[in-house]
Structure 1
Amino acid sequence: MGPSLNDIVISSGEPEKPAENITCMDASLYKAAAVGKIEEFNNYQGPELESLKTPNHDNVLHVNLSTPERIWQRTRFDFVLQILDKCPSLLLQTNAKGQIPLHVAARYGYSTIVRHLIMFCARVIYKDLEKLGMDQLNAVRGMIRHTDQESNTALHIATRYGHVEVVQALLEHEDPDFPYFANINHETPLYLAARRGSRRLLSILLDKSKSTAHGGPHGRTALHATAMVRDPWVTRIILEKKGNLTKETDENGHTPLHYAAHLGHDAVVEELLKWDISVAYIGDKKWGMTPLLMAARQGLFGTVRKILSYCPDCCERVDKRGWNLLHFMAFRDLSRGFRILLKNDNATTTEYGSVRNLRDWKDASGITPQQVFNACQYDKEEKKEQIVKLLKEIVNEEVAEKPVYPIGLPNISADKNLEKARDAHLVVAALIVTVTFAAAITVPGGLQSEKGLEQGTPLLIHEAVFKAFVVTNALAFIFSVSALTTHFGVLDNQLSGFKFFRETVLYRTQSVSGILGYATLAMVVAFSTGSYVVLKPSHGLAIVSYLICPAFLLCIWEILNPLMQM
């Protein structure tokens, strides 16, 4: 007889290494399990059904329940019922992930199957599920609390995928006081429901379970999760049951209000402030930043106004660097908001009046908001390098899984490089102008010296190649002169301190690079045609002069092609 399909031993040939035992299921049985065809198993004469496993140790029930919804729900239900009657031990048999069939049914939202598995575990008919004895109840709860290799119960999985009816079925027979602890990823069912933003799931979990477990990864709570969702109603549901979570911080010292402010979820910000206004004054661990400062750092002027409307004096809180609200708003260039808050001496609202007092506040390094604004908008600022260093530090952070919005940092070295490029362009353009001007005066082939109407005209004026020389030489001259004039502006000295001027120079530098490229190409063609018209009597040298231009283009291609493929 050949080897059994149920167990295949694979050996590496090395006696010191143990052989790997891989299980597999007969193809006909696998297909029958997937589509819920019970006839195949009624006629099955092989080993016990519990020995039929896939390489991942999925049994017949795992296979059926994990198959996409291609079969009628009633067919699936009948199949599960009859298979369990044939082999009850399949109910608690685990696969390679440590999951029993209940986990798989919860994953795909089969609430009817979940109730049937509970019924079978209790050994009662459906109508008697509400009259379970203590032994039956303990058996059911043991199955419901069974965890896989990642410490997920069926409730964790059903909540993660948002299956409300499955969650209801699982909690019907659970002890309300049983604490559903976090899985290996530090996620509790309550946190998972909050992260999904599901109002129904949260209401069910909070109503039917008295468990206080609400934690999530990185020290977050369920309230942190609702702040990440943007739905104020979800936040309100948590607050009504666990209002004490407003001051709970994650591992970085961020409260739920920090999250909502950083993400710009204004409705959630308002809900949290209505519940507990004191959280607006809490700073985080690293820099002592309040939610107001985080909103300003993100450039969220609407969120800033929302927080100030509830607690105007929270703007007096500064971070550990000494930066206040206006320092952060300055580098975001919130043109309307910043100018109103910074420059308007006739502030009419209370919150603006509080902010107005911050205009002259200096940080730990003596930097004012105006200096930050100037460094980002103009070239000329004494503490520009110091400010740029601080800005790089500020934007290199992440809150609520979302990094700080990037900003266009003033680039000091780029300004110097821009000047160097400009100087190089001027030198190259001047050289090409000089060469092409000289070539136009001393044309190849010489000039007519005999007196008459054509005296002083080129001897080769009627040659087609000479005409090509004249045209390309003139083009090289025009392109170079254009490059020179482009780099000279009438108001350069007066405008050199402004950001828009720096951007204009950058644009001009990039444009001039292209113009000089055309000028160089035209100059090479002019040299090639000029050489040919002079060397035409010598066929060998004439051919060489013709090859100058293709050789130049080939060299350029070899240089640029690798760069274009990077």
Structure 2
Amino acid sequence: MDSSDADLDRIEAQSSTDVSHDQENGTHLPMDDILGSQDFSQSEGDGATPLTGDREVVVQRLLARFRLSDTLPGEDVEMTPETFSGISDGNKECMEKLVRDETPIARLRSSTGDSILHLAVTWGHLELVKDIVIQFPRLLLAKNSSGQTPLHVAAHGGYTPIVKFFVALVALASSRLCTEEIKTLNPFVLKDEDGNTALHLAIEGLYFEVAAYLVNADKDAPLLGNNKGVSSLYMAVEAGRISLVKTILKNAGNLDSKLQGRKHLAHVALQAGSLGILDVILNEYPTLVDERDSEGRTCLSFGVSIEYYGGVHKILNQSPKSVYVRNSDGSFPIHTAAEVDNSILVRKILKRCPDSKYLLNKLGQNVLHIGAMSGSYSVTKFLMNNKDTEHLGVGQDMNGNTPLHLAIMNWHSQCITFLAKSSKILNLRNKSGLRAKDIAELELKPNYIFQERWTLALLLYTIHTRGFESRLRYVNTLLLVAALVATMTFAAGFTIPGGFNSSAPHLGRATLANNPTLFIFLLLDILAMQCSVATIGTLIWAQLGDPALIRSSLHAALPLLLFALLCMPLAFLFGVATAVGHVKWLLVIICIISVLFFFWAIFVLGPYVMLQRPSVSPELTGEFLVTFMQYKDIFEVTLMVIKFIFCYWQDDL
């Protein structure tokens, strides 16, 4: 008796139970489906005893041959093109010819290391696959040059019937073999050169029916990681296949010790947007909520970072304590919400855990520090306008910096008006002895950078409007300007273009009284004078020194003064038009120059006056001034053209 027959006898002496492993898992196939219509009178062609006799004996002999998978003598034989083509076409005659010629079929390999079973599986020839496996079951575990078994190839191609056949055959074999032999006959855990099992390839190809068979075939295979540290369970979660994930977790047992590679499954469920899978994971393995991803973020922090409201809500419901779990960098989930400028999530976290506003990162920074440093406008506005959190504005980190210090350091102008809310905040100094204003002035670059200068301008404006520095000099300057405008417009009203009649019957009356341009001149002159006088009257109240009265006075006086300043050049334009209206070309040039000057005055003075208005957003005036800076070159070019024209005409004259 040779070694194979001895193995066969020992296998036949084992348990006689008919309830196989595959029946228990719902993957049972009738024996006819496994054996097919194979002619068992043929030889393997490599010296093995032909499979003959009744089917039960045939099955026992078939199982015995699995144990010969690592004992094939000799070297691999190169496959001929005729054989490669025949097997690829599913030609059974080709197979029969190889058997008749006593070709060492089990050792035939193509240029890529594929056996004939690999080729038959690649092209989905189920019946040929059955014939080959029945005669050469050892090929089921053979690997090609990529380290892939036929099961890998079947899973990669999504061939459900072939995978189903392999699963049933291995299940049948496992029911008749001892534990040690089962370990050697387990194609489900074998990996290719990339570390992928057949289940990895099935999920990667979105062949979920194939994946379901493989998941039921082996409970440990879904937990194995590939060379990138990705398990099949991880891929199933990423694909959002809740039924597949449930089955894997149900069979997994101790997931913490068995799962290989990346374990942040809850993060992947959030990324996939699957609340169902997230719910299953957190219910079955609640400790996974504290796992950190490759960037060191907890599950809650990751959900906040991608602004997945449903996932964040579920985590807060099932694990409120996750709010207090640090990320690897020492920050907390509420800090992440501030970084992404999501005031809704900040509010949601504070509602569940009000004391989370006091959580500090490694630099001693609270949530408002993070929002200010990140330029988070909505978060900063919410926290500073909330009476329960506005006191965070005076908080200082390890370097003594307040949120306002950090906003200035990063030139986040949009946050300044909210952060500079009190004199206490503005006067706080960091450990270097610097206030926010000092930092802005010291860090300001000599070359013009709009964002930095705009930030400094907003800070200075805020300091002034809060009444933290004397504005009497500023008020006096405006009074002087208004007085000058009133004086000049008053005098212009009696210096009418065209002069006065010196004879009766209209003695002393304007010569051009019926001229429409003179009427417009007088109207604009009167408006400019009256607005400047109103400005003077308003600013007189500001002299009383009451900070609130100063602010109110300026809010009213500045628009009036701006209107007076704009009316002056327009009045001058119509006055000149009255006098030289008959010289058309000169009138056209004067109009062009005046229009350009008018728009320039609006762009320059408009944002300054608008800043003083409490109802106008600083961002709006900022956009206004940005637009001017972008198109100021057009004004410069226009002025150059006008200058050139004048010089040209002067030369001609």
TM-score normalised by the chain length of structure 1? 0.59
Asked if residue 116 in structure 1 is aligned to residue 116 in structure 2, the reply is no
Q: CA distance change for structure 1 residues 321 and 209 in 2, over 3 Å: closer, same or farther?
A: closer
Asked if residue 223 in structure 1 is aligned to residue 260 in structure 2, the reply is no
Per-residue CA distance 1:39-83 (angstroms, 9 max, x = gap): 55556779655666555434444455456xxxxxxx632232234
* Structure-1 separation of matches of 2:607 and 2:96: 94
Match of 1:311 among 353, 366, 369: 353
Match of 1:204 among 229, 247, 264: 247
Q: Check conservation: 2:607, 2:621, Cα contact below 8 A.
A: no
Q: CA distance change for structure 1 residues 206 and 169 in 2, over 3 Å: closer, same or farther?
A: same
Asked if residue 143 in structure 1 is aligned to residue 187 in structure 2, the reply is yes
Per-residue CA distance 1:110-132 (angstroms, 9 max, x = gap): 3321132244557xxxxx56843
Match of 2:633 among 513, 517, 528: 513
Asked if residue 248 in structure 1 is aligned to residue 304 in structure 2, the reply is no
Q: Secondary structure at the match of 2:326?
A: coil
Task: Kindly indicate which of the two structures has a greater share of residues assigned to helix.
Answer: 2
* Structure-1 separation of matches of 2:437 and 2:333: 27
- Equivalent AA in structure 1 for residue 436 of structure 2: K
* Structure-2 separation of matches of 1:488 and 1:49: 90
Per-residue CA distance 1:404-444 (angstroms, 9 max, x = gap): xxxxx98428989xxxxxxxxxxxxxxxxxxxxxxxxxxxx
Q: Check conservation: 1:297, 1:329, Cα contact below 8 A.
A: yes
Match of 1:489 among 605, 620, 629: 605
Structure 1 counterpart of 2:177: 133
Instruction: Give how far 1:306 is off.
Output: 2.6
* Structure-2 separation of matches of 1:376 and 1:161: 50
Q: Check conservation: 2:364, 2:398, Cα contact below 8 A.
A: yes
Instruction: Give how far 1:304 is off.
Output: 2.1
Match of 1:412 among 438, 452, 455: 452
- Equivalent AA in structure 1 for residue 241 of structure 2: S
Asked if residue 57 in structure 1 is aligned to residue 113 in structure 2, the reply is yes
Structure 2 counterpart of 1:188: 231
Q: Secondary structure at the match of 1:186?
A: coil
Instruction: Give how far 1:513 is off.
Output: 2.1
Per-residue CA distance 1:452-481 (angstroms, 9 max, x = gap): xxxxxxxxxxxxxxxxx99x9999989986
Structure 2 counterpart of 1:98: 147
- Equivalent AA in structure 2 for residue 277 of structure 1: P
Gaps of 5+ in 2: 1-75, 421-434, 444-448, 457-584
Q: CA distance change for structure 1 residues 490 and 194 in 2, over 3 Å: closer, same or farther?
A: closer
Q: Secondary structure at the match of 2:365?
A: coil
* Structure-2 separation of matches of 1:24 and 1:485: 88
Instruction: Give how far 1:98 is off.
Output: 0.7
Superposed CA RMSD in Å reads 4.8
- Equivalent AA in structure 1 for residue 629 of structure 2: T
Asked if residue 365 in structure 1 is aligned to residue 365 in structure 2, the reply is no
Structure 2 counterpart of 1:274: 317
- Equivalent AA in structure 1 for residue 343 of structure 2: F
Instruction: Give how far 1:138 is off.
Output: 0.9
Q: CA distance change for structure 1 residues 178 and 53 in 2, over 3 Å: closer, same or farther?
A: closer
Structure 2 counterpart of 1:158: 202
Q: Check conservation: 1:188, 1:214, Cα contact below 8 A.
A: no
Q: Check conservation: 2:109, 2:115, Cα contact below 8 A.
A: yes
Instruction: Give how far 1:282 is off.
Output: 1.6
How many aligned positions are there?
418
Q: Check conservation: 2:264, 2:291, Cα contact below 8 A.
A: yes
- Equivalent AA in structure 2 for residue 383 of structure 1: A
Instruction: Give how far 1:511 is off.
Output: 1.2
Instruction: Give how far 1:91 is off.
Output: 2.4
Larger Rg computed on CA atoms: 2
Q: Check conservation: 1:191, 1:216, Cα contact below 8 A.
A: no
Structure 1 counterpart of 2:535: none
Q: Check conservation: 2:215, 2:222, Cα contact below 8 A.
A: no
Q: Percent identity?
A: 21
Structure 2 counterpart of 1:328: 370
TM-score normalised by the chain length of structure 2? 0.52
* Structure-2 separation of matches of 1:89 and 1:24: 18
Per-residue CA distance 1:495-537 (angstroms, 9 max, x = gap): 4995544443332122122454566689889999999x99xxx
Q: Check conservation: 1:152, 1:183, Cα contact below 8 A.
A: yes
* Structure-1 separation of matches of 2:91 and 2:185: 31
* Structure-1 separation of matches of 2:595 and 2:645: 14
Per-residue CA distance 1:309-328 (angstroms, 9 max, x = gap): 32221221021233222233
Match of 2:333 among 291, 294, 319: 291
* Structure-1 separation of matches of 2:451 and 2:97: 78
Structure 2 counterpart of 1:376: 413
- Equivalent AA in structure 1 for residue 298 of structure 2: T
Instruction: Give how far 1:301 is off.
Output: 2.4
